[in-house]
C-alpha cells in the first residue's frame, strides 16, 4: 500500500433539508481496498458522487496526488483515472455488451461508423485481462444483473480507471456472484495496481475484503479503521451510534393450529423443468418457518406458486380448508396470504410512483379509501399512509416522494408496511433484508417477530443463514425442488445444515414438514 492518492478535506454538501456530507475528511491510499459503510442516508453515495464529479461540494477541498483539484464533471474524474459503478446501472438495454463497453470512446471505421468487430475484440481483451466473464455479442437486456455489473466494471476499466468506486455492488448479487466479484477485486488490487473504494452494508464483506474501513453516520465521517484492528461489532456500533445489535431473539415451540398446508405441490420453472417435485409443508399460527437452500433450488418457484404468480401443475395449497391452488394473486391475498417479494424493484414496488401510491396498492379501490371503486377519499388515504410511514420508520420528507428517490432500506420498509398492514393470517416473506443496512435489518426483524407474536403464520425465505437462524422457530431445507430436512431451531448448526442444503436427506422423498 502506498501514498495518499486522494485526500478530501472538509467536504460539505447540503441538500434541501439534509446535510448529506458534513465536513468530511477522508484519504484514499494507492493500492488499497477501502470500504465505506453506513446506514441508508448516511451520505456515502453523495460523497462518492462528489469524487466522481457528479455533485459539487458546497465547501471543502479535494487533493489528487498532493495537488488541489476541482472535479467539475465526470470527464475530469475519468481523466484523473477515477471510475464509478453506480447503485443503479446505466447501460443501454437494446445495445450489445460490446457496444455498451465502448460507448463514448467507440473504435471508428472511416471515422463515422463504429467498428463493431474491433469493439468485440476490445471486450474480449478486457475479459482476458480482468477475469470478468461477459459475452460481447449478447444484448444487455438479455443478461442477468450480475453480468450487467461486470459490464459496468469493464466499461470503467476500459476508460482507464485506476481508482474504481463501487457503490453497493453486492446488494444485487447472490452469495456466489459476490464471491466471484471479490476474487476479481482482489486481483485488480494485487496484480493490476488498482485502488478500490467499495460501499457496502454487509460487515462480513468489509472484514473479508478491505484493508481499511470508513464509517459514516448522518452525514459525518465517524472514523477510519484498519480492518485488521476492527470487528463487526465495533463497526456496527460506529454505524448506528448505539450498542449491541443482532442479539438472538426469543424462539417459540409452537402448539398452535396449522393455518397453511401445502400438499404434493408440483410446478415448473421458466425453462419448463420440474422445479417443485411434490413439496409438503405446513405452517402453524404464531410460527416462523424458515426455508434454507442454495438459491435456485425451487425457493423462488415455491413462493410464486403459493402466491398465484406461477402455474401449479398439481397439488394443494390449503388455507382454512380452502384450496387456493390455481387462484389469482388477488384472490389468494383476499383468502389470507400477503407476500413480501424477493425483488422489491420488479414485483414489490412501482419505482416511478409515490410512496402513497405504492402503499395503497391493492387497496386504492376499496372501502373506506374509495366508494364504489372510484371516488377516492384523499383524507383517509393520507392518514393511513402517514401512520404506516411512522410505524415502519420510513425516512422521507413527505409521502409524495417518488419511491425511486429512496434508499433500498426505505423502499423495503414500504413493501413490508403495505403487506403487513393487510393483516392476513399468513405472510410469505422473501429475502426481507437484501441490500438493506444494519439498522433497518434490526427494525425489519423486530417487525417480523412482532407479527409472529400476534399469531401470524410466517413462511420465511432467505439466502442469509444468519437471518434464518435468528428468526425461524423451525427450519426446513430444500434441494433440487424437494425437502430434505426439518429441524426445530437450536437442533442443528449452520455448518451441519449446509449438508442438507446440498442433498443430504433426513426426510424420505415423500417427506413433509
Ligand X SMILES: Nc1ncnc2c1ncn2[C@@H]1O[C@H](COP(=O)(O)OP(=O)(O)O)[C@@H](O)[C@H]1O
Calculated CA dihedral for residues 235, 241, 247, 250, nearest 10 degrees: -160
Q: Where are the alpha helices (DSSP H) in 375-473?
A: 378-391, 408-420, 438-453, 465-471
The one among 5, 41, 51, 467 contacting ligand X by CB under 6 A = 41
Query: Minimum Å distance from CB 40 to ligand X?
Result: 4
**Nearer Cβ to Mg ion, position 238 or 319?**
238
CB 8 within 8 A of CB 27: yes
Query: Minimum Å distance from CB 44 to Mg ion?
Result: 5
- Measured distance CA(178)–CA(184) in Å, rounded: 10
Q: Is 447 in the site for ligand X (CB under 6 A)?
A: no
Q: Is 171 in the site for ligand X (CB under 6 A)?
A: no
- Measured distance CA(505)–CA(316) in Å, rounded: 24
Write the binding mask 399 to 428 for ligand X: x where contact by CB under 6 A, - elsewhere.
--------x---------------------
Q: Where are the alpha helices (DSSP H) in 82-163?
A: 97-102, 116-130, 145-158
Name the 3-class secondary structure at 50. Answer: helix
In angstroms, how far is CA 417 from the centroid of its own chain?
17
Q: Is 20 in the site for ligand X (CB under 6 A)?
A: yes
Question: What kind and span of H or E run contains 61?
Answer: strand 59-64
Q: Could you tell me the three cell numbers for 109?
A: 471505421
Q: Total number of residues binding ligand X (CB under 6 A)?
A: 12
How many CA atoms lie less than 13 Å away from 429 in the CB half-sphere? 35
**Nearer Cβ to ligand X, position 46 or 267?**
46
Q: Is 44 in the site for ligand X (CB under 6 A)?
A: yes
Q: Which does 38 bind (CB under 5 to 8 A by kind): ligand X, Mg ion, none?
A: ligand X
Query: Minimum Å distance from CB 46 to ligand X?
Result: 3
Q: Which residue has the cell 449446509?
A: 498
Q: Which does 20 bind (CB under 5 to 8 A by kind): Mg ion, ligand X, none?
A: ligand X
**Nearer Cβ to ligand X, position 139 or 220?**
220
Query: Minimum Å distance from CB 434 to Mg ion?
Result: 15
Question: What kind and span of H or E run contains 197?
Answer: strand 195-199
**Nearer Cβ to ligand X, position 5 or 42?**
42
Contact stretch for ligand X (CB under 6 A) within 43-51, 93-101, 109-117, 380-388: 43-51
**CA–CA–CA angle 461, 466, 470 (5° rounding):** 80
Q: Is 15 in the site for ligand X (CB under 6 A)?
A: yes
- Measured distance CA(163)–CA(157) in Å, rounded: 9
**Nearer Cβ to ligand X, position 200 or 484?**
200
Q: Is 45 in the site for ligand X (CB under 6 A)?
A: yes
Q: Could you tell me the three cell numbers for 210?
A: 478491505
Calculated CA dihedral for residues 65, 71, 77, 79, nearest 10 degrees: -80
Q: Is 42 in the site for ligand X (CB under 6 A)?
A: yes
| Phi, psi torsion values for 212, nearest 5 degrees | -135, 160
The one among 8, 42, 45, 225 contacting Mg ion by CB under 5 A = 45
Query: Minimum Å distance from CB 326 to ligand X?
Result: 42
In angstroms, how far is CA 282 from the centroid of its own chain?
28
The one among 24, 32, 33, 38 contacting ligand X by CB under 6 A = 38
Q: Which does 46 bind (CB under 5 to 8 A by kind): Mg ion, ligand X, none?
A: ligand X
Q: Is 149 in the site for ligand X (CB under 6 A)?
A: no
Binding site for Mg ion (CB under 5 A): 45
Query: Which positions lie near ligand X, rule CB under 6 A?
Result: 15, 18, 20, 38, 40-46, 407
Amino acid at each position: 500500500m502506498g501514498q495518499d492518492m486522494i485526500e478530501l478535506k472538509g467536504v460539505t454538501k447540503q441538500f434541501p433539508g439534509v446535510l448529506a456530507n458534513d465536513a468530511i475528511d477522508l484519504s484514499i491510499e494507492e493500492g488499497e481496498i477501502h470500504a465505506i459503510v453506513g446506514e441508508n442516508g448516511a451520505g456515502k453515495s453523495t460523497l462518492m458522487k462528489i469524487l466522481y464529479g457528479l455533485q459539487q461540494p458546497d465547501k471543502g477541498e479535494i487533493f489528487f496526488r498532493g495537488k488541489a483539484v476541482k472535479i467539475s464533471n465526470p470527464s475530469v474524474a475519468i481523466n484523473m483515472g477515477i471510475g464509478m459503478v453506480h447503485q443503479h446501472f446505466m447501460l443501454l438495454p437494446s445495445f450489445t455488451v460490446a457496444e455498451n463497453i465502448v460507448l463514448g470512446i467507440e473504435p471508428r471505421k472511416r471515422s463515422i461508423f463504429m467498428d463493431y468487430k474491433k469493439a468485440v475484440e476490445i471486450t474480449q481483451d478486457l475479459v482476458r485481462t480482468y477475469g470478468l466473464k461477459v459475452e460481447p455479442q449478447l444484448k444487455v437486456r438479455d443478461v442477468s444483473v450480475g453480468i450487467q455489473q461486470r459490464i459496468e466494471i469493464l466499461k470503467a476499466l476500459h476508460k482507464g480507471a485506476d481508482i474504481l468506486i463501487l457503490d453497493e455492488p453486492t446488494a444485487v448479487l447472490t452469495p456466489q456472484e459476490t464471491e466471484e466479484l471479490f476474487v476479481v477485486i482482489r486481483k485488480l488490487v494485487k496484480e493490476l495496481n488498482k485502488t478500490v473504494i467499495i460501499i457496502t452494508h454487509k460487515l462480513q464483506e468489509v472484514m473479508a475484503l478491505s484493508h481499511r474501513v470508513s464509517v459514516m453516520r448522518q452525514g459525518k465521517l465517524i472514523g477510519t479503521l484498519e480492518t485488521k484492528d476492527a470487528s463487526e461489532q465495533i463497526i456496527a456500533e460506529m454505524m448506528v451510534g448505539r450498542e449491541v445489535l443482532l442479539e438472538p431473539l426469543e424462539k417459540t415451540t409452537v402448539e398452535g393450529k396449522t393455518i397453511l398446508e401445502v400438499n404434493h405441490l408440483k410446478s415448473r420453472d421458466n425453462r419448463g423443468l420440474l422445479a417443485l417435485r411434490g413439496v409438503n409443508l405446513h405452517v402453524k399460527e404464531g410460527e416462523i418457518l424458515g426455508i434454507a437452500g442454495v438459491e435456485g433450488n425451487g425457493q423462488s418457484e415455491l413462493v410464486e406458486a403459493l402466491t398465484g404468480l406461477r402455474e401449479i401443475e398439481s397439488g394443494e395449497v390449503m388455507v382454512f380448508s380452502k384450496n387456493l391452488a390455481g387462484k389469482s394473486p388477488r384472490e389468494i391475498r383476499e383468502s389470507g396470504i400477503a407476500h413480501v417479494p424477493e425483488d422489491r424493484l420488479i414485483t414489490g414496488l412501482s419505482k416511478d410512483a409515490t410512496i402513497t401510491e405504492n402503499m395503497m396498492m391493492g387497496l386504492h379501490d376499496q372501502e373506506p379509501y374509495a366508494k364504489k371503486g372510484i371516488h377516492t377519499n384523499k383524507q383517509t388515504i393520507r392518514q393511513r399512509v402517514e401512520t404506516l410511514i411512522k410505524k415502519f420508520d420510513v425516512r422521507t420528507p413527505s409521502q409524495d416522494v417518488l419511491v425511486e428517490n429512496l434508499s433500498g432500506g426505505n423502499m423495503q420498509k414500504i413493501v413490508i408496511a403495505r403487506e403487513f398492514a393487510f393483516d392476513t393470517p399468513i405472510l410469505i416473506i422473501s429475502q426481507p433484508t437484501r441490500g438493506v443496512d444494519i439498522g433497518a435489518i434490526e427494525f425489519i426483524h423486530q417487525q417480523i417477530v412482532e407479527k409472529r407474536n400476534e399469531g401470524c403464520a410466517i413462511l420465511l425465505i432467505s439466502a442469509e443463514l444468519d437471518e434464518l437462524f435468528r428468526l425461524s422457530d423451525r427450519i426446513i431445507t430444500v434441494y433440487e425442488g424437494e425437502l430434505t430436512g426439518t429441524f426445530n431451531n437450536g437442533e442443528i448448526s449452520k455448518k451441519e445444515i449446509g449438508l442438507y442444503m446440498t442433498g443430504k436427506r433426513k426426510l424420505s422423498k415423500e417427506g413433509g414438514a
